């Protein structure tokens, strides 16, 4: 069974704090995608990482793909209430058209 473990499942912090969300697996992914979903909407793609060790920055969000392409992290600096949402990671395997999904991290940023 291919699993993508995402942690933490829930995080509630104050505006201005930093946070990191992790996705870990024993499988090697050809790419990994991060999505953010707001209530009543579908997941919106934030970034795709492809190369082991790759780091991508999107304003205050920093995404990292592990050297072995088995894990990834999302770091948010100086979180704002607008960052509130469900963050999902999903890994693509060479051998399968399906994405392997993490269970999601529900993030609440309190003003």
Binding site for other proteins (CB under 8 A): 6, 31, 33, 35, 40-45, 48, 86, 88, 90, 92, 97-99, 101-104, 106
Q: How far apart are the first and last CA of the chain?
A: 40
Q: Which is nearer to other proteins, 29 or 70 (CB)?
A: 29
Closer residue to other proteins, CB minimum distance, 44 or 58:
44
Cis upstream peptide for 8 (omega within 30°):
yes
Minimal distance in Å, beta carbon 98 to other proteins?
6
CB-wise, 12 or 77, nearer to other proteins? 12
Residue closer to other proteins, measured from CB, 41 or 77 = 41
- How many Å apart are CA 41 and CA 13, to the nearest integer? 23
Write down the least CB distance from residue 67 to other proteins, Å. 22
Question: Least separation, in Å, of the C-beta of 6 and other proteins?
Answer: 8
**Tokens in use for 20?**
């990191």
> Distance between CA atoms of 16 and 5, rounded to whole angstroms?
27
Nearest distance in Å: CB 107, other proteins: 11
The four Cα atoms 11, 37, 67, 7 give a dihedral, to 10 degrees, of 30
H/E element, 100 = strand 96-101
């Amino acid at each position: 069974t291919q699993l993508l473990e995402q942690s933490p499942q829930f995080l509630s912090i104050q505006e201005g704090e930093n946070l990191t969300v992790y996705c870990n697996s024993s499988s090697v992914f050809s790419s990994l995608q991060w999505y953010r979903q707001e209530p009543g909407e579908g997941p919106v793609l934030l970034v795709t990482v492809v190369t082991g060790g790759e780091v991508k920055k999107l304003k205050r969000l920093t995404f990292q793909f592990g050297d072995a392409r088995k894990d990834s992290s999302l770091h948010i600096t100086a979180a704002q209430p607008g960052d509130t949402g469900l963050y999902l990671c999903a890994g693509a395997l060479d051998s399968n058209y399906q994405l392997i999904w993490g269970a999601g991290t529900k993030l609440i940023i309190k003003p």
